Amino acid sequence: MKPTTFAVLATAWLGLLVVAFVVEPTFDPWLQSHAPRGSWLRPVLRGCYAVLDVPTYFVLGAALLLHPRRVRLLAAYVATIAAAVAALHLLKFVFGRGRPMTGEGLAGEFTWFGDPRLDLDSFPSGHALTAFLLAGLAGLYLPQTRWLLFPIAALAALSRVATEMHYLSDVVASMGLALFFVWLGLRVWGREAFPSLLRSPARP
């Protein structure tokens, strides 16, 4: 990816994040009112998250074990995931944002260096990061699935808003964070470390 392309995409994401902060006081209650407990939409959203949940990491990892260059591929895969998760938890701690159900008037507030044990860990969303990170990585290994995986990831992220676990801005932030680490993994390890698994790989 060219630096100019990266800059444009990063700017677009920041703009989307600003929009999310602006509209979430209206959008979040609207979504929650249309996906209450017992509605047909709630299990659909949760089902999308189940497709891109933590167990899918292991499914992809198992597929990489079948590749002739499994050691390099697994190293790149694990390093990318580990870096993204480490950054996620650091940002959660630094921002210390209260979750929607956090009491004592802290819901939605950025307390800075907040205690996760007090539910001050809403921003960014870990579940949304998992969904978009898996969609991004799986989209490299199985390019034909991108058109399906990213909408599923978006719905999975919205499930966190619908269930009042996160704000819209939390999941938008996670989307950008996840895709940044997919890009960073490509920059550090090279495209050959994230090959299409549908092609017949050349033996080293």
Is the pLDDT confidence value at 201 over 90? no
Read off the amino acid at residue 80. Answer: T
Share of the chain above pLDDT 70, in %: 96
- Inside any domain, residue 202: no
Q: Mean pLDDT over residues 46-50, rounded? A: 91
Is the pLDDT confidence value at 108 over 60? yes
Beta bridge partners of 97: 110
Cβ atoms of residues 31 and 162 within 8 Å: yes
Q: What pLDDT does residue 50 have?
A: 92
Q: Mean pLDDT over residues 49-77, rounded? A: 95
Q: What pLDDT does residue 136 have?
A: 97
- Inside any domain, residue 56: yes
- Inside any domain, residue 69: yes
Looking up tokens 């950008």, which residue turns up? 176
d(CA 97, CA 117): 12
Is the pLDDT confidence value at 200 over 80? no
Total number of domains in the chain = 1
Q: How confident is the model at residue 118 (pLDDT cuts 50, 70, 90)?
A: confident
Higher pLDDT, 43 or 200: 43
Q: How confident is the model at residue 1 (pLDDT cuts 50, 70, 90)?
A: low
Cβ atoms of residues 82 and 129 within 8 Å: no
Q: What pLDDT does residue 6 have?
A: 82
- Inside any domain, residue 45: yes
Tokens of 190: 């090279």
- Inside any domain, residue 107: yes
Sorted by sequence, the CB contacts under 8 Å of residue 42 that are 6+ apart come out as 35, 36, 159, 162, 163
Polymer length in residues for the chain? 204
Q: Mean pLDDT over residues 65-87, rounded? A: 97
Tokens of 89: 């938890």
Is the pLDDT confidence value at 199 over 80? no
d(CA 145, CA 143): 5
- Inside any domain, residue 198: no
Query: Cis before residue 29, ω within 30 degrees of 0?
Result: no
Tokens of 76: 């790149």
Is the pLDDT confidence value at 69 over 90? yes
Q: Which helix (H) or strand (E) segment is 102 a member of?
A: none
- Inside any domain, residue 200: no
- Inside any domain, residue 122: yes
Q: State which residues form the domain around 68.
A: 3-193
